[in-house]
Amino acid sequence: MLNSAQIQEEYFVYKKRRRRRLQKNITLKNKRRLMLSLTISFGIIIIASFFMTRDIYISNNSKDLGFSVEHNFTSGFSSENKLLRVQKMSLLYNDGETAVVEASGLSKAAPHKTISVKGSFKKDDKNSWCLEKIFDE
């Protein structure tokens, strides 16, 4: 027969093991949560730094009108009059602050025909050339 002291001792040992197991699970859960938050934070920092570096690179290289024309006519935001590659470029007008450029090359659309695109560029406060307007022909 078991006396009450033995039953209490077994119950106490069981409770102690259970408490240890719960504490271990809680610490593991906290470690996982911490690692997940650190990984997400690190990923966000990496992605943000990538986009910031890309914007700085484009801004610095857009001080050259040739780069700005090539970038804006091939991979800019405007989806109309896209060129696959600028093959020929001619400067129609330039007064130091504004420039009108005509570029020709293959279109991005499926039948890659040779097209010509005219655009107006203006210098911003950082002396970078920005596409102001695309002229329709």
Neighbour-count burial of 89, counting CB atoms closer than 10 A to its CB (0-12 exposed, 13-18 middle, 19+ buried): middle
Q: What is the pLDDT of residues 10-67, one digit of tens each?
A: 656 667 777 788 888 889 999 999 999 999 999 999 999 999 999 999 999 999 999 9
pTM of the predicted model, to two decimals? Answer: 0.70
Mean of the per-residue pLDDT values of the chain: 86
Mean pLDDT of 87-114: 91
Answer for the pair 90, 101: CB distance below 8 angstroms, yes or no.
yes
What pLDDT is stored for residue 107 in this prediction? Answer: 86
- Residue 19 is predicted with a pLDDT of 78
pLDDT of residue 22: 82
